[in-house]
Structure 1
């Protein structure tokens, strides 16, 4: 039982997984400047991939938690740079 509990505790949270998939989506065009709308689309892909089949309450909670830790977007950051930020933040969620 301890082994199973340890495995569950070591898995990233749903919110962290959403951030990691969002980062992967952004890396597809890593050199492009990031715009808020593109981030919303990438986050939507991440949420659909990770929590799309889960109960609504769980999916909304994970997506809200992921969205709450997103760093601000400005016109100087690229998709790749922002993806690195998401990777780092995902470790803390």
Structure 2
């Protein structure tokens, strides 16, 4: 199984879209002090996820979401997911 996920940092007030085969470890990595876009904040929360059978399908969906370049569309996706806990954005 592969996951497309969206995490949110309330400190930076920003979303990050990614894909992985191990979502728990990946979120933990985002919350460590490391170089990179998600480093040094440590408050990333999972606000959305989708499951795919293949890595290619997950990457395709990740790229689709990133191509939107629209906070409004990402927020709509997060808010539309059933039972999701998302920040008050």
For Structure 1 versus Structure 2, the TM-score category normalised by the shorter chain is 0.3 to 0.5
Higher relative contact order (CA 8 A, sep 6+): 1
Scaled by the length of structure 1, what TM-score is found?
A: 0.35
More helix by share: 1
More strand by share: 2
